[in-house]
Structure 1
Amino acid sequence: MKWWITGFLLIFFSILSLFTGVSDLSITDFFSLSDEQQEVLFVSRIPRLVSLLIAGMSMSIAGLIMQQLSQNKFVSPTTAGTMDSARLGILVGMLLFPSASMMEKMLLAFLFALAGTFVFMKILDKIRYRDAVFIPLVGLMFGNIIGSVTTFLAYRFDLVQSIGTWLHGDFSMLIEGRYELLYLSLPVVILAYIFAHHFTIAGMGEDFASNLGLSYQKVLYLGLGLVALITASVVLTAGMLPFLGLIVPNIVTIYQGDHLRSSIWQTAVLGALFVLVCDILGRVIIYPYEISIGLTVGVLGSGIFLYLLLRRRSYGL
């Protein structure tokens, strides 16, 4: 795959995103913007574009790290209970600390996401039947259990509508002052690149990594921590983006291979492009109304996921 084409498409759709919407703002007005158009561009459109790019990039890299560490191409924050755990953490924060700041809620979501991912990895160690499809099914069941607990607590304390509306993937409400939490994902992406070789070696198994002098447990905890932090920041800011961390790394590794450092930036670019296209589709399909990106990503992502399942023999592990 020609990755310069992906980069060109990312730039093209980024510009298209800035001038797609209900407000009267077109590219021909760029050098003669009125005060109202400037406010729309700098308060709404640019923060939304930045949020889309960061969320798509970081969630795709999170999925890539999880697939490398678990040695399974169908593991991601969606199929490992990470997103559901982060959502439970946010609900617990709403119940116990209603006046907590966004940063404090994100810390709680991070702790729950980390704990949930760690529990899933421990379950993974106990499973003897390591079929490529069986593992994510276990993760989906684990995530549904956590999701059921979240729904029960939300119903018990009359927060079903609040938690459902807030955490459904949607970028339409992200404006200046409400998206900056996503910037925490950027240093995490840089750390993922720095430790890419470590994740690649750890993905070959604990015995192999130990023979090369790598502390497998430390690398595992570092990877899970990075994934949990990315998931918590994205879920708290933009909501749930299902299957994103699953399909994008799979598409990249089909063409690029399993070496994490050589594929991490391609994964980031393709993830940002995929989210951007889904968001634009959601804005134009029923214009002037908007379909939430959680729905568009879920529909397209589940379709690609089914396709990957049908060709699962290509992922002999």
Structure 2
Amino acid sequence: MKKRYLVPLLAVLSIISIFIGAENIRPADMLHLSREQTEILLASRLPRLISIIIAGMGMSICGLVMQQLTRNKFVSPTTAGTMDCARLGILVAIILFSAASPLIKIAVAFCFALAGTLLFMKILGRIKWNDTIFIPLVGLMFGNIVSSVSTFFAYKFDLIQSLSSWLQGDFSGVLKGKYEMLYLAVPAVLVAYVFANRFTVAGMGEDFAKNLGLNYKQVVNIGLALVALITSATVLTVGTIPFLGLIIPNIVSIYRGDHMKKSITVTALLGAVFLLFCDILGRLVIYPYEVPISLTAGIIGSGIFVYLLLRRHAYA
């Protein structure tokens, strides 16, 4: 799995994505676009493509960082309760600050996502049985508890429809002026790249990292803050995308190993390619209508996840 294959593939899928939609725009039309076609491209198709690429890269790197820090290949924002805490944060922001700007909502979601992830890490520190499958099961239980709290308050304040929209990832509502908060994930991805070597050392254990002169707690906190920021921006903009942060880092680690500096770029590219493929598939299955990205990514991702589980069992 090499970058020189993923970059052209991402470019091809990006071009295909631009020309898929209810309004028929052909490649030949690019030379003489009508006013309506230009508006569709600038207001819908390009923002959608950009948001897919950013979300795919961001969530894949989130999974890579969490798996590196927890030393568990089945931990991700989905299986650690991070996404559930981010949704609870958005719900609290809507209840307390009904007319709040997206920036306020993402700030509250970030605080809840970070606090939830730190709590999950605290729980891991108290678990003596560090089985590979057991730890993400604890994360799923924790996430379900948080999700239940969110559902309770959503029913109480008549916001269950809003909560349901965050449960279902969907790029159909991405338009110019409604996706820009996702750009906050870009600097977070760059910071993750800069700290990649430190995350790799931190993943070897606290004692080992301290012996090498690394400030272990500071590095872990930076990693979790990046995960919380990217997750909050993604959930607020497009909703929940299952399995992405779980399967992509696992696939890359099979071919590239566990050195984060060597795998982070490939992880980001593969995440964008995978999410873009799922989106294109969802738009073609029942064309001109579309299937939400959470459904297509969930079906394909669950199949890959089962394969990874069976592969782990075969080499256990």
In the superposition, the TM-score normalised over structure 1's length comes to 0.98
Residue type at the aligned position of 1:300:
I
Note the alpha carbon deviations across 1:35-58, whole angstroms, 9 max, x for none.
Answer: 111011111000000000000000
Q: For 2:161 and 2:76, how far apart are their aligned partners in 1?
A: 27
Match of 1:220 in 2: 220
Q: 1:314 to 1:116 in 2, by over 3 A?
A: farther
The answer to whether the 8 Å contact 1:132/1:312 transfers is no
Q: Give TM-score, length-normalised by structure 2.
A: 0.98
Structure 1 residue ranges (4+ consecutive) displaced by more than 3 angstroms after TM superposition: 313-316
Give the number of aligned pairs.
316
Match of 1:288 in 2: 288
Look up the match of 2:75: 75
Structure 1 segment 82-231 matched on structure 2, within 5 A: 82-231=82-231
Rounded Cα–Cα distance in structure 2 between residues aligned with 1:146 and 1:74: 20
**More divergent stretch after superposition (202-211 vs 150-159):** 150-159
**Take 1:70 and 1:306, find their aligned partners in 2: how far apart are those partners?**
21
State the Cα distance separating 1:26 from its structure 2 match. 1.1
Where 1:153 maps in the other structure, the secondary structure is helix
Shift of 1:158: 1.3
Q: What residue number does 1:258 align with?
A: 258
Q: CA deviation at 1:148?
A: 0.7
CA–CA distance in 2 between the matches of 1:199 and 1:176?
35
**Does structure 2 conserve the Cα–Cα contact (< 8 Å) formed by 1:167 and 1:236?**
no
- 1:131-153, Cα deviation, whole Å (9 max, x unpaired): 11111111111101111111111
Structure 2 Cα separation of the partners of residues 34 and 17 of structure 1? 19
Query: 1:307: Cα distance to partner?
Result: 1.5
Counterpart contact for 1:132–1:315, Cα < 8 Å: no
Distance 2:254 2:160 in 1: 40
Structure 1 pair 83/315, CA: closer, same or farther in 2 (3 Å)?
A: farther
| Unaligned 5+ runs, structure 2 | none
Change (3 A) 1:314 1:130: farther
| Contact 1:93 1:100 (8 Å CA) reproduced | yes
- Compute the displacement of 1:229 (Å): 0.3
- Note the alpha carbon deviations across 1:80-131, whole angstroms, 9 max, x for none: 0000000000011111110110000000000000001001011111111111
Structure 1 residues 294-313: aligned runs within 5 Å: 294-313=294-313
Distance 2:108 2:206 in 1: 30
Q: Is the 8 A contact 2:2 2:266 kept in 1?
A: no
Checking the alignment, whether the CA contact within 8 Å between 1:133 and 1:309 is kept in structure 2 is no
Q: Which moved more, 1:51-60 or 1:21-30?
A: 21-30
Matched residues in 1 for 2:53 and 2:282: separation? 16
Task: Determine if contact 2:166/2:240 at 8 Å carries over to the other structure.
Answer: no
Corresponding residue for residue 39 of structure 1:
39
Q: 1:141 to 1:300 in 2, by over 3 A?
A: same
CA-to-aligned-CA distance 1:163-216 (integer Å, 9 cap, x gap) = 112452011111111111111111111100111110000000000000000010
1:277 aligned to 2:277? Answer: yes
Question: Which stretch of structure 1 is more off in the superposition, 1-10 or 238-247?
Answer: 1-10
Shift of 1:315: 7.8
Identity between Structure 1 and Structure 2 (%): 62
186 and 249 in structure 1: CA distance in 2 versus 1, 3 angstrom threshold: same
Whole-Å Cα distance in 2 between the matches of residues 163 and 146 of structure 1?
13
Query: 1:2: Cα distance to partner?
Result: 3.5
Contact between 2:166 and 2:235, CA under 8 Å: does it hold in 1? no
8 Å Cα contact 1:10/1:269 also seen in 2: yes
Name the structure 2 match of 1:48. 48
